[in-house]
Structure 1
Amino acid sequence: MTKDVYEYAVIRVVPRVERGEQINAGVLLYCQPRGYLCARVALDPVRLRCLDPGADVDAVSRALSAYELACGEEPGPLAAESLGGRFRWLTAPRSTIVQSGPVHAGLTADPDTELARLFDKLVRL
Structure 2
Amino acid sequence: MPIMPLRSRRLGLGLAALVGTAAMLAMPTSAQAAGDPATWPCDPSEFCIYHDAQGGGAHYSLADGASNLGALAGGLNDHVWSVKNISGDDWCLYRDADYANEIQVILDGQALDLASPVRDQVSSVEPC
Question: Shorter chain as normaliser: what TM range?
Answer: under 0.3
* TM-score, scaled to structure 1: 0.24
Higher RCO by CA contacts (8 Å cutoff, separation 6 or greater): 1
Bigger Rg, structure 1 or 2: 2
* TM-score, scaled to structure 2: 0.24
